[in-house]
Structure 1
Amino acid sequence: MKAKLLLTALTLSVALTACGDNGGNGNQSSDSNAGTSNEQTSGGNASGNTKSGDDLAYEKTAEPVTLSIGFKIPDDKLKSGDTNENNIASRYFEGLTNIKVVHSWEAKGDDAFKQKVNLAIASNDLPDAMVVDRNQLRKLIDNDMIEDLSDSYEKYGSKLIKDIYDTTDGMALADATSDGKLYGLPNVGIEADAPSLLWIRQDWLDKLKLPAPKTMDDLEKIAKAFVEQDPDGNGKADTVGLEGDKAVVYGQKPNPNGFDAIFGAFHAFPKNWIKDASGNIVYGSTTPENKEALAKLAEWYKNGLIDKQFALYKETQEPIVANKTGLFFGPWWMPYFPLADSVTNDTKADWKAYAAPLDADGKFVTHMAPVTDRYIVVRKGYDHPEAAVKMLNVFTRYERRQDPNTEEVKKLDDYAAETGVHIRNFYPFDLLLDYSDAVVKRYNDVQKAIKGEIDPATFDPDTKQVYDFTLAEKENPKKNMDAWKPAKAYEVGGAILANQPMEKVYSVFYGMTRTMETKWATLEKLEIETFLKIIVGDLPVSAFDDFVAQWKKLGGDQITKEVTEAVNGK
């Protein structure tokens, strides 16, 4: 289930594609005949013309091109006669580009795919293009195995993907750049996915006449009241306080029940590499501030303010869905899951989100996630590196619901509705792009339309659909959960992200060092077990000091040295 939750966290912010989800800059046209706003002066393309901008980005290649890739096999069941390599999606994208994608190899699942990529690198037997992670990208660059895509991206990149990369303030492309050369085209994650908000049963809060939470003390009082004062009114002492997860924290992109926000309020950032007050790079889980956070959580657990069973649930969302708790942490998209199930089981449930608890200075402090973690790369010597760029152009345009070929898009949508097949699982590459500020922009645009400040007819299809769902939910509250999910996710979670000032802390390193490859799993296990045992009282808070000493001895000091060298470019 945890893997499923993680996948949900990574994909829900783009999941509205099935029902509409574009975000950001939605009024810009990506019609292949209109996108010449990039004033590029390329030296021409394969057909010898001098087109530029989107005219060139979406133009078919003059001659057929074959692009071999490594492909991750999805669970989807295609119609009889279709294959992973030849199906309704692949045929559509080939028709648009004149680029035929063939599979050098296929792998089922993330682990198997990663192993295949590692083998391809180790044997120097790369397909023409493949998706790699940060560590694999570094190996490929160090061994001069992949093409510099700088010129191909500049010449053939569509306005859409360039606009998306621009929303990251240059961070996405910089992450794939070495010595001034662009070695991969990265995915782009949603910035909104990183903060962990406090979700509360507002109806319980109102019933007990408690104020909205701000401080750690406020949170403690609410948890105590939810445990002791029968907030659900059933006459039984069967409600619990704050929920948790046995992982304790997620560290980057959270799921339900992580304690990340508690650690952030103490300026502790476990699972992230940060700089201390002296400017030294340290592993965030080993700083003294973690001890303060753990002491507070242990105190709450001992006093019954944290669900005593939190580490024992088979699926972390169980008490939320069963409405036994009215208090937990999670990202903005919680109305999709698990809150939709909570409301289905109890239509009185009224969930609200808060940026809390605040730190001692009244600020909401949160870790952030890497803006990118996957890259499409092209093997050194491949004659048509622009083919990978052109493919990224067309399936990103489709994914972001800006494809002007409405009849063909409808065929794809109808096929998906009929078969349950997710078209995105058959894109040439597993590389989704969305505007990094998509959630905030979409929320702001919808609110302006509701106030009559923007004509919703000018919205891109995705923002328009969020707007329609929001109106539908206002007219018939909780009658259609398909409308309730996006309406509440944006109305509640999106509102916090748009309006609440946040102090955002980024990790300075997201990769893997040499020593990490052999010792990180052991160190992670030590960390999770120690933190969890301190919270539930199996170890004293002082055990944190022992953990730090052991972590350093078991390889942490060497890893810290390697991370420092990597960050400083040595």
Structure 2
Amino acid sequence: MKLKTKKRWNLALVASLALATVLSGCGNGSEADANQTYDPNSKLEFTWLNILHTASPPTDVIKNKLEEYTNSKINFSWVPDASKEERITTALASGQLADVVTITMMTNSTVRNSLKSGLFWDVGPYLDSYPNLKKIPQEVRTAASIEGHLYGVPFQKNMARSGLILRKDWLDKLGLEVPKTLDELYNVARAFTEDDPDGNGKNDTTGFGDRSDLRYSSFKTLSSYFGTPNGWAVDANGKFTPEFDTPQYMETLKYSHKLYENGYLTRDFAVTAKTDQQQQFAQGRTGIYTGMVDISSLENMSQGLQKGMELVPVNKISNGDGKYHVWSEGSGVGGLLAFPKSEVKSEAELKRLLQFVDKLLDKEAFMYMTGGIEGEHYKIDEDGSFKIINQDKWQADVQPFAASRPSEVTYKLKDSNPRKQMANELIQENDKYAVLDPTVPLDSQTNNEQGTELQKIVTDATFRYIMGELDDEGFKQAVQSWKDAGGTRITEEYEAAYKTSQGKS
């Protein structure tokens, strides 16, 4: 039996256009039968509102392979990553959704409210019925849940991917070692700026490149090296403190301001996009980049621009006490594959879609979405190393699917690029040092309603402090403004939710 043809949505990829919807008629011309029987052998046709992390959508090469493997027909609506917040929140508010929706902004107010409102199916009771989904660890399910309800299949990610990439050739030229402390890192940033690391006799290099994303810029990573809590701190009595109201956050502010003031941090970081930050690094204008996962991309981008570039990933920087901390992105959860009840009208449809997601967790599907077709896009060397053999074809056919894998941790590939393999190993090592956000499985109604707007107060104050536009007192006033505008209520609500989760009255 075939499931009925679904509504199809076409999302324009132009930021200035609103979401456009194109509806196709229902296959049987009637409403879904709530008592429809689940047929695991049915041909599944569905729509998927998905995030695009590349410049262009993929070709149909891998899509066709996935459809064949999963007995399905997939109608993708791709939303560019740069505009995902606007597009996804607009889609949620208007109800212009698809059968499967990729949700990555788990702390976004609109997203949290939509999940809590019952807009999506709670898939928690169903996961254990599928061979791959049942293997999702309980701690991942808990971290992805809201008040005990799991409103989608969690994207399984590494616990903590953060770290730095440094120009190893510059370190060697200047006689410097890979830094192990924040003081050593500061000296590297100074030397990369002042000591002509590229040897061209010009004052044209800067230590830290950065971008206008407080969470994924250097600041959050440096903050965790200082021992700042990840998002929130909670003490033995259940008292919550936001990260930006801690001494360690203030230490990071002072450190970052010193970098900026002395020219060791790019002057335009507050208005720099990620792609521009990468280009600065690839062109040899900066020597420190935040994000170990991007090491291969940076090497590829530098081809023809930088001769002799050698990179080294770094994951362990201490504040001098020999201890290591690194912030965890969502406690190993990268978002949800969610199923709106407005589109998925019956339990039978939900089960068939869950079967599809379960199939995506098979190694065959994982390899399609990671490497593509063996012999055409990649090969496995004699030592077991994975190697892309046609970079341009891989980027066109495969790369856009990599971020859509339900899990990036289920299978491990040995990368033929030793620097990338080292970065992969350091990311796995980060599990030992990961600092979790205690509010991930908790809920605050005020944060759902105002959290995104309130965060802008702190983000703006942080950037202004780094650039010397605010002093200590000015930043403290911004924190107080956050508290007065709703932050205090958020704190109290998290404390109450935490107490409930701990079984305390």
Q: TM over 0.5: same fold?
A: yes
Identity value in percent: 20
172-181 vs 276-285, greater mean Cα deviation: 172-181
Cα contact 1:223–1:241 (8 A) shared by 2: yes
Who is 2:326 aligned against? 366
Which letter does structure 1 place at the counterpart of 2:250? K
Residues in 1 aligned to 2:375 and 2:351: alpha-carbon distance in whole angstroms: 24
Going from structure 1 to structure 2, the CA distance change for 1:381 and 1:280 (only over 3 Å counts) comes to same
TM-score (norm 1): 0.63
463, 483, 486: which one aligns with 1:555:
486
Displacement of 1:202 in angstroms is 1.9
Residues in 1 aligned to 2:393 and 2:311: alpha-carbon distance in whole angstroms: 34
Residues in 2 aligned to 1:435 and 1:526: alpha-carbon distance in whole angstroms: 34
Cα contact 1:321–1:345 (8 A) shared by 2: yes
For structure 2, the residue ranges without an aligned partner over 5 or more in a row are: 1-12, 14-36, 378-387
Displacement of 1:367 in angstroms is 0.6
Which letter does structure 2 place at the counterpart of 1:287? T
Going from structure 1 to structure 2, the CA distance change for 1:148 and 1:265 (only over 3 Å counts) comes to closer
Displacement of 1:293 in angstroms is 1.5
User: Cα deviations across residues 514-551 of structure 1 (Å, max 9, x unaligned)?
Assistant: 33355334322222221122122222233222121111
- Matches of residues 16-31 of structure 1 in structure 2 within 5 Å? none
Who is 1:436 aligned against? 409
User: Cα deviations across residues 468-513 of structure 1 (Å, max 9, x unaligned)?
Assistant: xx2xxxxxxxxxxxxxxx442223x234335578521111224774
- Matches of residues 475-514 of structure 1 in structure 2 within 5 Å? 486-491=417-422, 493-498=423-428, 502-510=432-440, 513-514=444-445
CA RMSD of aligned residues (A): 4.3
290-299 vs 339-348, greater mean Cα deviation: 339-348
Cα contact 1:188–1:435 (8 A) shared by 2: yes
280, 299, 303: which one aligns with 2:239:
280
Alignment of 1:115 with 2:90, yes or no, is: yes
Who is 2:131 aligned against? 158
Residues in 2 aligned to 1:118 and 1:426: alpha-carbon distance in whole angstroms: 26
Alignment of 1:394 with 2:355, yes or no, is: no
Which letter does structure 1 place at the counterpart of 2:155? N
Alignment of 1:292 with 2:251, yes or no, is: yes
**What number of residue pairs does the alignment pair up?**
434
Who is 2:286 aligned against? 325
Going from structure 1 to structure 2, the CA distance change for 1:564 and 1:67 (only over 3 Å counts) comes to farther
Who is 2:184 aligned against? 218
Residues in 2 aligned to 1:212 and 1:240: alpha-carbon distance in whole angstroms: 17
Going from structure 1 to structure 2, the CA distance change for 1:344 and 1:152 (only over 3 Å counts) comes to same
Which letter does structure 1 place at the counterpart of 2:166? I
Residues in 2 aligned to 1:393 and 1:402: alpha-carbon distance in whole angstroms: 15
- Matches of residues 117-136 of structure 1 in structure 2 within 5 Å? 117-120=92-95, 130-131=101-102, 134=106
Which letter does structure 1 place at the counterpart of 2:158? I
Who is 2:470 aligned against? 539
For structure 1, the residue ranges without an aligned partner over 5 or more in a row are: 5-44, 48-59, 80-86, 447-465, 471-485
Cα contact 2:254–2:466 (8 A) shared by 1: yes
Which letter does structure 2 place at the counterpart of 1:323? G
Which letter does structure 1 place at the counterpart of 2:409? S
SS of residue paired to 1:186: strand
Who is 1:41 aligned against? none
291, 304, 307: which one aligns with 2:263:
304
Alignment of 1:173 with 2:135, yes or no, is: no
Displacement of 1:360 in angstroms is 3.4
531-540 vs 338-347, greater mean Cα deviation: 338-347
- Matches of residues 32-431 of structure 1 in structure 2 within 5 Å? 60-61=40-41, 64=42, 69=47, 71-72=49-50, 110=84, 111-120=86-95, 130-131=101-102, 134=106, 149=123, 152-155=126-129, 157-159=130-132, 161-163=133-135, 165=136, 169-175=137-143, 183-193=151-161, 195-197=162-164, 199-247=165-213, 249-250=214-215, 254=216, 257-269=217-229, 272-276=231-235, 279-311=238-270, 313=272, 315-326=276-287, 328-342=288-302, 344-370=304-330, 371-372=332-333, 373-377=335-339, 379=341, 381-397=346-362, 398-401=364-367, 422=397
Going from structure 1 to structure 2, the CA distance change for 1:344 and 1:92 (only over 3 Å counts) comes to closer
Displacement of 1:567 in angstroms is 3.7
Residues in 1 aligned to 2:196 and 2:51: alpha-carbon distance in whole angstroms: 49
Going from structure 1 to structure 2, the CA distance change for 1:237 and 1:277 (only over 3 Å counts) comes to farther
Which letter does structure 1 place at the counterpart of 2:439? F
Which letter does structure 1 place at the counterpart of 2:90? Q
Displacement of 1:234 in angstroms is 1.5
User: Cα deviations across residues 265-311 of structure 1 (Å, max 9, x unaligned)?
Assistant: 221246x2332475422221222221121112223333333344444
Going from structure 1 to structure 2, the CA distance change for 1:116 and 1:569 (only over 3 Å counts) comes to farther
Who is 1:27 aligned against? none
Which letter does structure 1 place at the counterpart of 2:87? A
Cα contact 2:225–2:319 (8 A) shared by 1: yes
TM-score (norm 2): 0.70
SS of residue paired to 2:439: coil
Going from structure 1 to structure 2, the CA distance change for 1:385 and 1:266 (only over 3 Å counts) comes to same
Residues in 2 aligned to 1:518 and 1:139: alpha-carbon distance in whole angstroms: 7
Going from structure 1 to structure 2, the CA distance change for 1:178 and 1:494 (only over 3 Å counts) comes to closer
Going from structure 1 to structure 2, the CA distance change for 1:280 and 1:375 (only over 3 Å counts) comes to farther
Residues in 2 aligned to 1:355 and 1:504: alpha-carbon distance in whole angstroms: 11
SS of residue paired to 2:434: strand
Which letter does structure 2 place at the counterpart of 1:228? E
User: Cα deviations across residues 312-351 of structure 1 (Å, max 9, x unaligned)?
Assistant: 556223431221232x242222323334333542222211
Displacement of 1:552 in angstroms is 0.7
Residues in 2 aligned to 1:501 and 1:391: alpha-carbon distance in whole angstroms: 29
